[in-house]
Amino acid sequence: MIHSRNRRLRVNESIRSLVRETILTTDDFVMPIFVMEGENMQEAIPSMPGIFRRSIDLTVKECKELFSLGVKAVNLYMKVSEHLKDNTGKEAWNKDGLMQNTIKAIKDAVPGMVVMPDVALDPYSIYGHDGIIENGKILNDATNDALARMSVSHAEAGADLVAPSDMMDGRVLVIREALEESGFTDVGIVSYAAKYASSFYGPFRSALDSAPKDDIEIPKDKKTYQMDFHNTREALNEVFKDVDEGADVIMIKPGLPYLDIVSKVREAIDLPIAVYNVSGEYAMVKAAAQNGWLDNDKTIIENLTCFKRAGADMIFTYFAKEAAILLNK
């Protein structure tokens, strides 16, 4: 005779919900947003169905709607005009730049929205790299100085946290010290501590035109600074260093193919963990759903729940708005 039957706790939805270990809510989401120049402008991103580049006015409108749905944080990316790009990234800390004006507009219109601007030079670089280039190499320390200036300008505009996604060595400490010296002691750092050189970033790079340029004199990919996807221990090493340097939140990117890394980092540290459900992961679900191969709504919720089950505290996802609507039902 069987005394212990696990199926007793699966008999119906009410029982299943009573013993459910992982609960997904709108409080878990950070919505990445693409911003472009202009007014009353919106452009669809073909490789990311349902996602758009918007001018500041329409971005503010979108943020109001997100907040009303319970999504209380956004992660900002700029589509920078070609004539503003160079090898120094100086447009990134322009006090009247697109990023800075976007941050101000969102905070003025939706004060409760947590604004996390991306900190990296690739949208501002003529080469599409996350750092300053000299003699065919990415300069680590010179790039860190630029990232610190960029972060301070974001804080001046009203950012709640800055999110360096560049993967330069030591940049968290340089940014933390710059923020402290400038009086922004309450501005946090979401450090992309374990960001892998991944094939899943393709749709994102097309959205911002930020892919490395095919120039024989510069690296054709980002493998000299982003992590090798074969490695696990290296990720923990990166995480521990960023914790020591003053990171407030640790990011793992990409998401679904790296849930093992999320789980291992969760076991190793007590800081909040973010995970990025990246553009390629989004595009695959949308493509499969449009072809009738997957149920769009069920797959979204299952995917996002998996991130929390693995140990993430917050999820950067292009599904944030859609998932919020589903959860609110």
pLDDT at residue number 214: 62
Look over the chain and give the mean of its residue pLDDT values, rounded to a whole number.
95
The answer on pLDDT for 68 being more than 60 is yes
The answer on pLDDT for 216 being more than 60 is no
| Binding-site residues from annotation | 238
Q: Which residue has the higher pLDDT, 202 or 298?
A: 298
pLDDT at residue number 89: 93
Does residue 222 carry a catalytic annotation? no
Average pLDDT of the residues in 239-250: 98
Distance between CA 171 and CA 98 in Å, rounded? Answer: 23
pLDDT at residue number 278: 96
Q: Is residue 316 a contact partner of residue 32, using CB atoms and an 8 Å limit?
A: yes
Task: Collect all residues with Cβ–Cβ distance below 8 Å to 138 and sequence separation of at least 6.
Answer: 129, 130, 131, 132, 168, 219, 224, 225
| Binding-site residues from annotation for Mg(2+) | 238
Contacts 24+ apart (CB under 8 A), 167-171: 167/130, 167/192, 167/195, 167/222, 167/225, 167/226, 167/227, 168/130, 168/131, 168/138, 168/140, 168/143, 168/144, 168/225, 169/140, 170/140, 170/141, 170/144, 170/245, 171/143, 171/144, 171/147
Lowest mean pLDDT among 202-206, 210-214, 222-226: 210-214
Domain 30-328: CATH superfamily, name plus number: Aldolase class I (3.20.20.70)
The answer on pLDDT for 157 being more than 60 is yes
pLDDT band for position 204 (50/70/90)?
confident
pLDDT band for position 52 (50/70/90)?
very high
Beta partners for residue 66, in sequence order: none
pLDDT digits (tens, 9 = 90+) for 253-273: 999 999 999 999 999 999 999
pLDDT band for position 276 (50/70/90)?
very high
pLDDT band for position 203 (50/70/90)?
confident
Distance between CA 168 and CA 148 in Å, rounded? Answer: 12
Average pLDDT of the residues in 191-202: 94
Query: In the structure encoding, which two tokens stand for residue 129, read together?
Result: 């790299």
pLDDT digits (tens, 9 = 90+) for 78-128: 999 999 999 999 999 999 999 999 999 999 999 999 999 999 999 999 998
pLDDT band for position 136 (50/70/90)?
confident
Average pLDDT of the residues in 182-204: 94
- Please report, in angstroms and rounded to a whole number, the separation of the first and last CA atoms in the chain: 43
Q: Where are the domains of the chain?
A: 30-328
pLDDT at residue number 92: 96
pLDDT at residue number 184: 98
The answer on pLDDT for 212 being more than 70 is no
Does residue 195 carry a catalytic annotation? yes
Q: Of 253, 264, 308, 321, which one is the catalytic site residue?
A: 253
Q: Is residue 139 a contact partner of residue 131, using CB atoms and an 8 Å limit?
A: yes
The answer on pLDDT for 209 being more than 90 is no
